[in-house]
Each structure stands twice: as C-alpha cells, then as structure tokens.
Structure 1
C-alpha cells in the first residue's frame, strides 16, 4: 500500500497583494483503499488497479493514470477509481482534471473528509476561493481548526465580520496564538466601520464578563478605530473584573507610557507582561522594544530595564530580545554591555553573519582574545570564504603569543580578499606584527611597507 500524508492547506494573504503560502498540518492518517473495498470486479480490473497503485508508489503518475483508465473502460462505476485518478492528476499539477475526478468520487460520498481535503487542495492551487469556502465549511464539522482556513477564505472573499467571528471562536476554544493575532490584524485593517464587531464584542462581554479574550479583542478594535479612551476604559474594566489578569498589561503599559504621569504604572505593567507565562515571546520582544524607546526619552529609568531583563534571563530562546538590547547599548557606545547582550543573543543565532562579526570585533576591541580566537575559528567553519574572520583569528593569535599560527591563518585568508585594499592592508599589517613577535625584523618591515602602500591607495 502507498503511504499518504494528510495535508491541509492554510491560506494566507500576504502583504495584501494576493500572494499565498501553503502550510502542511497533519491531522490524522489518511486511509487507502484495501482489497475489501474494491467490490466484485474482474481479474483484469484488479490487475490494472494494483498496477496503478504500484506505479503511483514509485511516482510514475502517467503510467498509473493509464492503468486506471483501463479500469474505467472495464467498469466505470466504482467511484474510488476517480479518487485515485484525481490523486495522480494532482501530483502532476493538472488541477482541473483532478477537480473533475474528485467531484465524481464525491458523488457517492459527498461528506467524505479525505476527498473534501483533496478537493480543497485543488481549489487552493486554482485560486478558486468561493468554491473552497463551500468545501471548508463542510470540513469544519470534522475539526474546528479548519475554522482557521475558513477565516482566511472569508478574508479573501471580503467577508471580514464572519472571518473575525471565527477567529474569536477559535480564541475562546484554544486560546490566542501568534498566527491568529496576525490574521486578526490583517482583517481589522480592512474593516472601514468596526461598529458591528464592537457591538458584538460588547454583547459577548456582558454574556461572559470573565472572558479575558473578548476584552482584549475589544481593546484592539477600539485602538484600531482611534478610540483610545474607550480602549483604556475597557482595559480598566478587565482589570477590575479580573485583578490577576496578566494579558491586560500588554495593553495597559502602552496607555501608561503615553500618560507621562503614570510612568511607574507603565514600568510595573511591563514587568508583569515580561514575567507572564501566558504571553508569547514575540509580544515580550515588543514590550522590550517599547521599553527601549521609553528609556531613550527617560534615561533615569535605565536601572528598571536591567531589572526587566533579569526577568527574561531565566527563560530560554530570548536571542531576539538580547540582540535588541545589544543594539541599544552599542548605539550608546557602552561596548561592555553591548557585548554582554550580544553574546547571550548569539547563542541561538550563530548563523547570523552580521551579528557574529560584530561580536568578534567587540571582543577584539575589549581585548577578549581567547574568546575572539575560539569564536573566529567557529565562524570560519560556517563562513570559510569570509576574510574578516581570518583577520580576527590572526589578530587574536598574535595577542595570545602564537605568531606562527597567526601567519598561517592570515596567509590563508588573504586569498579570499576581492578588491578591498583597506582589508588587504590590515592583513599585511598584522603579518608584519606577527613577524616582529618572531624577531624577524626584515620580514616585518616588508609586510608593514606593503600595508602602508595599500593604505595610501585606499
């Protein structure tokens, strides 16, 4: 039997210009046809059918289609033939023919989840969004997570209120997540008059006054509609109803920051948000980013930033936050703090060339030669054609009293320099320094002179 994964297309509208991405999500294994399902058919039919399965298994889709068509000539009644034909045409990206066959297969099983998913995939590839809606509306009864696909489709069909209603239902059932937050923003940005959605959420809050998510969604809509005072009042209402709410502080700290008389409340709200296990890392990153902007205007509160960062230090995967903090202190010229945060941030971003380069140059600048030597060796394994890392390694080795090793690495790295006389001059200067350490004054003078000549040209 062929192995088959169950793919569900998640439809995204990116940047508002109609570009879409397909995401795969395995819900449950699909079942293939077994011999008991074939019915009373002839030996010739069976031979061709199993030949089709064999050819599909080895990706000979054209041959599989030929074998299935022979089955159809023998007996056109079994609907599973059209399911198999559809799958093969789908693999060949012949979507219109695949669609025709899946529709035939559905005639006897109009609510078959497996066939409906395949038909949805075909519609997706053909950008038949209205047809997709009809299929996904049937699929929702099998798994409520299909509502995400349906919300995407409603969005593309400009049925914004229905899309937001589905997202609200999912948030209530599963809790909010990053994907649905982004989808909500895209949908809300298209709504010219959100009064209908606002009324619906106000009604839901009256029905379920302890549901945090409804308050948060309403705060967002008010903010999008430039009704900041109503958004703030809604946040205060949530805090009054649920004094232990942590999510509300994602909204409150912004209101407090804008009110210069509530600086202490702003900082306290930011700390609560950063400590919360209910708030995702991207949102915490946004809190830190806003905190940094706040400190640019109120530098007297920088110690509070350090305290806030200590909250995050115990968590894993905060590379983005630490890197942003490194940028903050780098711009201020505080190299020690910048390097400290960069080193913490790069642990999960070792493939980031620009960040790796900055870390190594700061380590040299601050005379951390052992770290720079080890780090540049690692960098060369990842980026073996980048001369800057040979140079950092060579400089580190010179300061670690390993001039012979320095000359070897610098001699290797200089071959990767392309039309960069300044860097070439730096290489020759360091080679001159290395030979000077070895006591070879003649060689040292030769390379230093080469460096001087190149510096004059550059």
Structure 2
C-alpha cells in the first residue's frame, strides 16, 4: 500500500528575488512485492527488483537502465513509469520525471501519491502555474493544500485569487499565525482592493457577527488610505461586538489622530491585554505608545500600568528592550536597566542591548551582576574589548585585583585603533594595582593612560 506524503507546508519569504524552501517529510517508499507485479516473466521480475535495489542505494542511472529493460519486456505496467519518474526526479531530470508521472496519471488521474510527486517536480522547476493546477486537484484530498495553492497564486501575481483562497481556508479551518501572516503579505500586494472590499462588505452583510471580516476590511481600507472608512468600520464592529479586543488595534490609532487621547490610551490597554494579539502587533502598539508618551510625559504612569500585564516571556523580550531604550533616552537608569534585564533573557545574542545593560549595571554599582553577565558575554563575543573592560572593572570593585589585571591584559589584545579604549584599559589596570597596594605599577599604567589621552 502506498504511504502518502504528509501534508507539505511551504515557507516563503515574499521579497524580490526571495528564497523559497519546501519543508516536507522524507518520501516514503512504495511497498511492492512479487504479487503486485502481475503476470510477468522471471526476467521482468529480476530486472524490476534490481531497479528497486539500485534506487535504494542511490544508483539512479542503473535503476533506470533496469526499468528500461522491464519496459522492453512488457511496457504495459504503470508502476514502471512511476518508478522511472521517481528516479529521474532524484537525478533532477525534471522533464523526464514529468513525462513518466503523466503517463500514469493519464490512466489514474486521481492518484494522490503521483499528484504529490508531480507537484514536487513542478515546484522545483519553479513552474508555479503547472504546480497550482496539480494542487487544485489535491485539495479534494486535504483542504490544507489550500495554503500551497494560495502561495502559488501569490507567486503568479494572482493576488485576488490567493486572498479568496486564504479567506475560505480561514472560514473553514480557522485562523492561525501562518495563515494570518500569509493573508497580510498577499493583501499588501493588492494594488486595486475594490473587488476585495466589495467581497468583504458582502460577507459582513451576510454574517454581521463575524469579527474577522470587519478586521480584514479595516486593514484593506487602511492600506488604500481610506482612513475615514476604516474608522467607520471599526466603530461598527465595536457597536456589533462591544467586547472585541482586537478592534482596538485599529481604534487607538484613529483616536490618536482624532485627538481623543484618553480613548486612545484605553484602546491601547485593551488591545495589549488581548491573548489573541501576537508578538509583532503588540510590539507595534508599544512603539506607538512610547512615541506618544515621549511627546506627552504625563502619561508615563499609564505606560507603566500597561507594562504590568506583560510576563517575562520570549515573545515580550523586544517590547521590554524598547521600553528600556525609552527610559535610557530619558536618563532614568534604574528603569532602563530593569527593562533591559527583562528583555535580555531571551535575547542574549543582541550585542547592543547586552552592552547597554552591562554598562548600566556598572554605573549603578551592580558589580556582581556585571561580572557574571560580562563573563557570559565574553563566551559569546570573545573579541569584543568592551566586555573585558566591564569584567575587569567589576572584579576591581569586588576586590579581585589579580583577576582584574589578567582579564584586562587579555582584553587589550582586542583593542584596535581605539586610543580612548586603550587608555581606559591602562587606567583600569592602574586601578587594579592600586587595589593591590602596588603604587609603582599603578603609576606606570596611569601615566600610559594619560599619555594616550593627550595624544587623542
């Protein structure tokens, strides 16, 4: 029995010259035994199983030779062409693969296994029109193939059709992050949204309580710079579904533009409290909130109230980092450090945030934290001299001057064409020797530091 491929989800980066990858399960083998071959000669059987053996050890050319011998003996069995197609596919001889798969499909047009193989061939050739025609047949087996179909329509610039497919899929199976991102990317490509607007207006009329149709229409109007209409639809949705949280993702912007500040703040809070709101839109709301508070500092308390809702999870790390940047600009060091520390937990590879956090820890005399953090950071960024400098300063203040001298001396090897930093290293080595009570060495390094400062 054929074991069909599991459902394939295509990951696409929708950019000019984008890379396309296909994530899929390893192709299962067809279980063929002697009884499946039908009434064939011993020589036919011998060649056929030789073909399977050669294919199993990736000798695809030899497998094809053996199959050709089978065809010379009896050209009727369709499984010969299926096997030929698979071997040509492995050899990337796609045209030959298509010829052989098509021979089987002419007789068995609804063979799902062969349709999936043919789809793979067309996709690898970037023949998206032909791939779409195959997927259209596969949809009857599994509705989730509509995701591939929408992607293929997108690649063919058939944006309206792609959007209809995605919306139908969401109606039938519900939304998830992938489908909503796919929908957004398709919508951004639509240059004339009139037909989609008309379609959504009709869907709202038919089902006035379906929230997603309103949200989609708001987005389309906004994309088309029809802000007044988008605002009107948002208010209609709020009227129909007063408990909706996602509508506030649009409303807060309209309220800000309308100078309804208190309503805007209220909408921001509601939107950010929604468990349905994903990380990226939440991040955007916070950025807008920070921009607003920057211009209106009296609302900083509202910002802090909103932030209390956020747990220290990886999806919120970017949000905490942005809030840290905000307080850092305001020179509110304690608050900035608190948010950087919350944001860095799942963002340790962000060097700029790491550096800001460690420097603030030094500035606020959190020497133990600065020591531990810089030690870990050096493992990630072993050629960044600032990390050695921070580590050394921490050790000096924790009464470990010998260790400080060692780490500072090591860090100096990474200072290149930076007189000020080199001077700082000499200065801190001098401080370490002072801590040891070695005034002669301390003076020597302090003088080197002074000389470099004078040069710069």
- Indicate whether the TM-score tops 0.5: yes
In the alignment, structure 1 segments of 5+ residues that lack a partner are none
Call closer, same or farther: CA 1:455–1:57 in 2, change over 3 Å.
Answer: farther
Does the alignment pair 1:134 with 2:133? Answer: yes
Greater CA drift, 338-347 or 42-51 = 42-51
Greater CA drift, 180-189 or 432-441 = 180-189
- Tell whether the 8 Å contact from 2:362 to 2:390 is kept in structure 1 after alignment: yes
Tell me the C-alpha RMSD between the 2 structures: 2.6
- The 3-state SS of whatever aligns with 2:275 is coil
Q: Number of matched residues?
A: 455
State the match for 2:305 in structure 1.
307
Call closer, same or farther: CA 1:319–1:41 in 2, change over 3 Å.
Answer: farther
How far the C-alpha of 1:452 sits from its partner, in A, is: 2.5
How far the C-alpha of 1:368 sits from its partner, in A, is: 1.0
Deviations 1:387-439 (A, max 9, x none): 22222111110010000111111222222333333322222221111111111
State the match for 1:441 in structure 2.
439
How far the C-alpha of 1:375 sits from its partner, in A, is: 0.5
Whole-Å separation in 2 of the counterparts to 1:126 and 1:453? 66
State the match for 2:323 in structure 1.
325
State the match for 2:14 in structure 1.
14
- The 3-state SS of whatever aligns with 2:209 is coil
How far the C-alpha of 1:43 sits from its partner, in A, is: 4.2
Call closer, same or farther: CA 1:12–1:183 in 2, change over 3 Å.
Answer: same
Whole-Å separation in 2 of the counterparts to 1:153 and 1:382? 41
State the match for 1:391 in structure 2.
389
- The 3-state SS of whatever aligns with 1:22 is strand
How far the C-alpha of 1:74 sits from its partner, in A, is: 4.1
Does the alignment pair 1:231 with 2:230? Answer: yes
Whole-Å separation in 1 of the counterparts to 2:154 and 2:19? 13
Call closer, same or farther: CA 1:84–1:386 in 2, change over 3 Å.
Answer: farther
State the match for 1:159 in structure 2.
158
Does the alignment pair 1:286 with 2:280? Answer: no
State the match for 1:334 in structure 2.
332
State the match for 1:414 in structure 2.
412
Call closer, same or farther: CA 1:440–1:121 in 2, change over 3 Å.
Answer: same
- Tell whether the 8 Å contact from 1:9 to 1:124 is kept in structure 2 after alignment: no
How far the C-alpha of 1:313 sits from its partner, in A, is: 2.7
Deviations 1:254-290 (A, max 9, x none): 1111111x21111111111111112212221111111
How far the C-alpha of 1:150 sits from its partner, in A, is: 1.3
In the alignment, structure 2 segments of 5+ residues that lack a partner are none
Whole-Å separation in 2 of the counterparts to 1:315 and 1:9? 27
- The 3-state SS of whatever aligns with 1:10 is strand
Whole-Å separation in 1 of the counterparts to 2:90 and 2:4? 12
- Tell whether the 8 Å contact from 1:10 to 1:24 is kept in structure 2 after alignment: yes
TM-score of the superposed pair, with normalisation by structure 1: 0.91
Whole-Å separation in 1 of the counterparts to 2:359 and 2:196? 53
TM-score of the superposed pair, with normalisation by structure 2: 0.91
State the match for 1:403 in structure 2.
401
State the match for 1:353 in structure 2.
351
Q: How does 1:47-196 map to 2 (within 5 A)?
A: 47-196=46-195
How far the C-alpha of 1:209 sits from its partner, in A, is: 1.2
Call closer, same or farther: CA 1:4–1:457 in 2, change over 3 Å.
Answer: farther
